[in-house]
Amino acid sequence: MSKQAIQAHAKAIEVPYLLHFTRVANLPSIMQHGLYPISRSNEIGVAPQINDEIRLDGHPDGTSVSIGFPNSQMFYKYRMDCKDVDWTVLVLRPSVLWTKDCAFCRHNAADARISNLHIDVLKASQAFVGMFEEIEDHSPREDQKLKAFDPTDVQAEVLVFDVVEPQDIIGAVFEKAAVRDTYVAHLGDRKTYIHANNKGMFATRGYFRKYQ
């Protein structure tokens, strides 16, 4: 029943897509094999360029995706730490939420309020619904101008413990047209978008929701 409840709620709040940001150098292998959790990348003989070497969330067996907007705090940090790296934001089908083995984290998965919970609790439909409820130490959803499908905490994430196949990747956002042009052949007929620095998916969610 849990999967059906997740699907029903996702459709009720009209989740448009999921997002996963990655270094653009990873794009060819992702489009060939799909998104593999880091701990399984050896299965396809790939050594991906990764962002979080430590994985404080304790789940290298899960791929982090966001609902409706990237974790802009984390994404900005990585872009500032690695200024010579080009990035892409992959757009995934929302059905990943109920067709794959997922855990639903209303905060960053490394946050003790999440990491101290049993994984079965995080996989329940109640955990998914909880991502969109008011949180005591966060600004009210109305003040944040959030859409119904926006998690209350911008750092909320979904951990996907299965492979996300290439057919579940429906588009990609780039910061620079030249980078898009270099990699577009790997994307087939999928849609591509250019969001210049600090615009669109490369902005903060707060700014995007209030001013764009």
* pLDDT at residue number 36: 83
157 is catalytic: yes
SS3 of the chain: the string is CHHHHHHHHHHHCCCCCEEEEEEHHHHHHHHHHCECCHHHHHHHCCCCCCCCCCCCCCCCCCEEEEECCCCHHHHHHHHHHCCCCCEEEEEECCCHHHHCCEEEECCCCCCHHHHCCCHHHHCCHHHHHHCCCCCCCCCCHHHHCCCCCCCCCCCCEEEECCCECHHHEEEEEECCHHHHHHHHHHHCCCEEEECCCCCHHHCCHHHHHHHC
Q: pLDDT (tens digit, 9 = 90+) per residue, 40-88?
A: 666 655 655 565 544 455 566 789 999 999 999 999 999 998 889 999 9
User: Is residue 20 marked as binding?
Assistant: yes
- pTM to 2 decimal places: 0.92
* pLDDT at residue number 181: 97
* pLDDT at residue number 46: 63
55 is catalytic: yes
* pLDDT at residue number 54: 43
Choosing from 157, 175, 180, 205, which is the catalytic residue?
157
User: Is residue 186 marked as binding?
Assistant: no
For the chain, the structural domain boundaries read 2-207
* pLDDT at residue number 48: 56
Cβ contacts of 40 within 8 Å, gap of 6 or more: 61, 163
User: Is residue 204 marked as binding?
Assistant: no
Choosing from 23, 55, 79, 209, which is the catalytic residue?
55
